[in-house]
Chains A and B, each alone.
Chain A
Amino acid sequence: MDFLTWTGTAGTTLLPVLQLAVVALALALLAKLIFVLAGLDTPRLPGPDGATTGRSPGDMAGIAARYSFYAALAAILCILAAGAVMPSPVEAGILGAMAVRFWPVWLALIATFVLSIRFRRKLGLYGKLFDSTVGMIGFAIVMFWIFTAIFAGMIATYDPFSQIAGLKNDAPGVAVPDGVGYGWYLLGGDHLGRDVFSRMVMGAREVLKIAPAATLFAFMVGITLGLPAGYFGGKLDTVISFLANLVLAFPVILLFYLLVTPEIRDTGIPIVLAALLFIFPIIFLCTLWNSRYYTNPPRRNLYVGITLLIGLWAYSGLAFNMDPLGIWSMEPNMLNVFVSVVFVNSPGVFRIVRGLVMDIKARDYVAAGQTRGEGPWYIMLWEILPNARGPLIVDFCLRIGYTTILLGTLGFFGLGVSPDSPDWGSTIDDGRKLLNLYPHPALAPALALMSLVLGLNLLADGLREESLKD
Chain B
Amino acid sequence: MGKFVLRRLGVMLLTAIALTFVVFYLTNLPPNLEKLARTEGSVRMTEEAVQDWIEQNGHSGSVIGRYGQWLGVVPGWTYTDEKGDTRGRCFAIGEDAANAPRYCGLLQGDWGYSTFFKKPVVDSLGEKLAATGWLMLAVMLVMVPTSLFLGVLSGMREGSATDRTLSTFSIASTATPEYVSGVVLVALFATAATGISPLLAEYGLIEPKKTLFLASATSAMDDITFWNFALPVMTIALYGIGYIARMTRASMTEVMTQQYIRTARLKGVPFRTVVMKHALRNALIAPFTVIMLQFPWLLNGVVIVESLFNYKGFGWTLVQAASNNDIPLLLACSCVAVVVVLLTQLISDIGYVFLNPRIRLA
Which A residues are within 8 Å of any B CB, using their own CB? 29, 32, 36, 39, 41-43, 62, 65-66, 134, 242, 245-246, 249-254, 257-259, 261, 263-264, 266-267, 269, 401, 405, 408-409, 412-413, 425, 428, 431-432, 435-440, 442-443, 446-447, 449-450, 453-454, 456-458, 461
In chain B, positions 311-333 with a C-beta closer than 8 Å to chain A are 318-319, 322-323, 330, 333
Residues of B within 8 A of A450 (CB): 175-177, 180, 184
Given contacts A257-B319, A412-B179, A454-B175, contact A267 B271 (CB under 8 A): no
User: Closest CB of chain B to A15's CB: distance in Å?
Assistant: 15
Tell me if A443 and B183 are in contact (CB < 8 A). yes
User: Closest CB of chain B to A41's CB: distance in Å?
Assistant: 8
In chain B, positions 186-218 with a C-beta closer than 8 Å to chain A are 186-187, 190-195, 215
User: Closest CB of chain A to B7's CB: distance in Å?
Assistant: 12
Q: Pick the residue among A41, A251, A401 that contacts B300 (CB under 8 A).
A: A251
> Can you offer 26 A-B residue contacts whose CB atoms are under 8 A?
A32-B161, A43-B160, A66-B161, A242-B15, A249-B338, A251-B300, A251-B334, A253-B304, A257-B318, A258-B22, A258-B27, A259-B26, A264-B29, A266-B31, A412-B179, A413-B319, A431-B183, A435-B186, A437-B191, A443-B183, A443-B184, A446-B180, A446-B184, A449-B180, A453-B175, A457-B171
Q: Does B162 contact A (CB under 8 A)?
A: yes
Given contacts A252-B300, A438-B193, A450-B180, contact A258 B322 (CB under 8 A): yes
Assembled-state Cα–Cα distance A408/B162 (Å): 32
Tell me if A428 and B162 are in contact (CB < 8 A). no
Q: Pick the residue among A42, A258, A436, A446 that contacts B179 (CB under 8 A).
A: A446
Assembled-state Cα–Cα distance A442/B330 (Å): 30
Residues of B within 8 A of A263 (CB): 29, 31-32, 35
| Main SS class of interface, A | helix
Tell me if B194 and A250 are in contact (CB < 8 A). no
Closest residue of A by beta carbon distance from B157: A43
Tell me if A439 and B193 are in contact (CB < 8 A). yes
Residues of B within 8 A of A447 (CB): 180, 184
Tell me if A257 and B323 are in contact (CB < 8 A). yes
Residues of B within 8 A of A449 (CB): 177, 180
User: Closest CB of chain A to B69's CB: distance in Å?
Assistant: 20
Assembled-state Cα–Cα distance A32/B154 (Å): 13
Q: Does B41 contact A (CB under 8 A)?
A: no
Q: Does B101 contact A (CB under 8 A)?
A: no
Q: Does B296 contact A (CB under 8 A)?
A: yes
| Main SS class of interface, B | helix
Given contacts A32-B162, A263-B35, A439-B194, contact A428 B179 (CB under 8 A): yes
Assembled-state Cα–Cα distance A249/B195 (Å): 39
Further pairs besides A249-B19, A408-B179, A449-B180: 19, Cβ < 8 Å: A39-B271, A39-B272, A242-B14, A246-B18, A249-B342, A250-B22, A251-B337, A253-B304, A257-B323, A258-B22, A258-B27, A264-B26, A264-B31, A409-B304, A431-B183, A432-B183, A435-B215, A439-B194, A449-B177
Assembled-state Cα–Cα distance A413/B35 (Å): 19
Q: Pick the residue among B30, B160, B183, B300 that contacts A428 (CB under 8 A).
A: B183
Pair count A-B, CB < 8 A: 154
Assembled-state Cα–Cα distance A34/B215 (Å): 32
Residues of A within 8 A of B19 (CB): 246, 249-250
Residues of B within 8 A of A269 (CB): 26, 29
Given contacts A263-B31, A435-B191, contact A446 B183 (CB under 8 A): yes
Tell me if B15 and A437 are in contact (CB < 8 A). no
Q: Does B174 contact A (CB under 8 A)?
A: yes
Closest residue of A by beta carbon distance from B215: A436
Q: Does B106 contact A (CB under 8 A)?
A: no
Assembled-state Cα–Cα distance A453/B175 (Å): 5
Residues of B within 8 A of A39 (CB): 270-272
Residues of B within 8 A of A436 (CB): 186, 190-192, 215
Tell me if B172 and A454 are in contact (CB < 8 A). yes
Closest residue of A by beta carbon distance from B214: A436
Assembled-state Cα–Cα distance A409/B180 (Å): 10
Assembled-state Cα–Cα distance A456/B19 (Å): 32
Assembled-state Cα–Cα distance A453/B318 (Å): 27
Tell me if A401 and B15 are in contact (CB < 8 A). no
Q: How many residues of chain B get a CB closer than 8 Å to chain A's CBs?
A: 61
User: Closest CB of chain A to B251's CB: distance in Å?
Assistant: 16
Assembled-state Cα–Cα distance A252/B296 (Å): 10
Residues of B within 8 A of A29 (CB): 165
Tell me if A258 and B23 are in contact (CB < 8 A). yes
Assembled-state Cα–Cα distance A249/B29 (Å): 22
Given contacts A39-B272, A251-B300, A253-B300, contact A443 B187 (CB under 8 A): yes
Given contacts A39-B272, A439-B193, contact A413 B171 (CB under 8 A): no
User: Closest CB of chain A to B320's CB: distance in Å?
Assistant: 11
Assembled-state Cα–Cα distance A54/B175 (Å): 39
Q: Does B303 contact A (CB under 8 A)?
A: yes
User: Closest CB of chain A to B213's CB: distance in Å?
Assistant: 11
Closest residue of B by beta carbon distance from A448: B180
Assembled-state Cα–Cα distance A134/B165 (Å): 11
Q: Does B308 contact A (CB under 8 A)?
A: yes
Q: Does B341 contact A (CB under 8 A)?
A: yes
Tell me if A254 and B177 are in contact (CB < 8 A). no
Assembled-state Cα–Cα distance A242/B184 (Å): 39
User: Closest CB of chain A to B219's CB: distance in Å?
Assistant: 14
Tell me if B32 and A253 are in contact (CB < 8 A). no
Tell me if A435 and B29 are in contact (CB < 8 A). no
Tell me if A249 and B15 are in contact (CB < 8 A). yes
Closest residue of A by beta carbon distance from B308: A432
Most B CB contacts (10 A, CB to CB) among A251, A401, A461 go to A251
A-B pairs with lowest CB-CB distance, top 9: A257-B322, A439-B187, A263-B31, A454-B175, A453-B175, A258-B26, A446-B180, A446-B183, A405-B177
Closest residue of A by beta carbon distance from B272: A39
Q: Pick the residue among B23, B153, B180, B194 that contacts A254 (CB under 8 A).
A: B23
Closest residue of A by beta carbon distance from B32: A263
Assembled-state Cα–Cα distance A443/B193 (Å): 13
Closest residue of A by beta carbon distance from B27: A258
Most B CB contacts (10 A, CB to CB) among A42, A43, A413 go to A413
Closest residue of B by beta carbon distance from A405: B177
What are the interface flags for B8-37 relative to A under an 8 Å C-beta threshold, 1 for contact and 0 otherwise? Answer: 000100110011001100110111100100
Assembled-state Cα–Cα distance A432/B308 (Å): 8
Closest residue of B by beta carbon distance from A37: B153
Q: Pick the residue among A62, A134, A412 that contacts B304 (CB under 8 A).
A: A412
Q: Does B307 contact A (CB under 8 A)?
A: yes
Tell me if A254 and B161 are in contact (CB < 8 A). no
Residues of B within 8 A of A65 (CB): 161, 165
Residues of A within 8 A of B194 (CB): 439-440
User: Closest CB of chain A to B67's CB: distance in Å?
Assistant: 15
Assembled-state Cα–Cα distance A66/B35 (Å): 60
Residues of A within 8 A of B187 (CB): 435, 439, 442-443
Q: Does B97 contact A (CB under 8 A)?
A: no
Assembled-state Cα–Cα distance A447/B190 (Å): 17
Most B CB contacts (10 A, CB to CB) among A408, A443, A458 go to A443
Tell me if B271 and A42 are in contact (CB < 8 A). yes
Tell me if B183 and A439 are in contact (CB < 8 A). yes
